[in-house]
Amino acid sequence: EVQLVQSGGEVKKPGESLKISCKGSGYNFSNYWIGWVRQMPGKGLEWMGIIHPGGSQTRYSPSFQGQVIISADKSMSTAYLQWSSLKASDTAMYYCARRGPGDHGGSDYWGQGALVTVSS
């Protein structure tokens, strides 16, 4: 069974750093792109970026380029999303999602989400 399991919720102060994780199982983690999606409280979905764990190719949405870093460790079957200096506006639910097979593939499996709260 394909699963993406994310790390737990975090409460941080502005200016702190953070790295959250997304561990895949039940499939060849190296072969499928993993994307990250932000959902601010009461708002819609925003695509942040995507990584191919096999080759570490990474693409970012222009809105998030330079704001976060996406990485992956294929030996651990884990993708990461990190911030060097959090802001209150980073408070949101963050989802990882696997890009499905095929050229048109939507995101067929999602993590359970990780709630990040940034508050002084």
Residue ranges binding another protein (CB under 8 A):
35, 37, 44-47, 50, 59, 61-62, 95, 97, 100, 102, 104-108, 110-113
CB of 24 to another protein, least distance (A): 14
The pair of structure tokens assigned to 107 is 């995101």
Question: By C-beta, is 5 or 76 nearer to another protein?
Answer: 5
CB of 47 to another protein, least distance (A): 4
CB of 89 to another protein, least distance (A): 19
Question: Beta 78-83 vs 92-99: how paired, if at all?
Answer: unpaired
Nearest to 74 by CA among 93, 52, 58: 52
The pair of structure tokens assigned to 58 is 């990474």
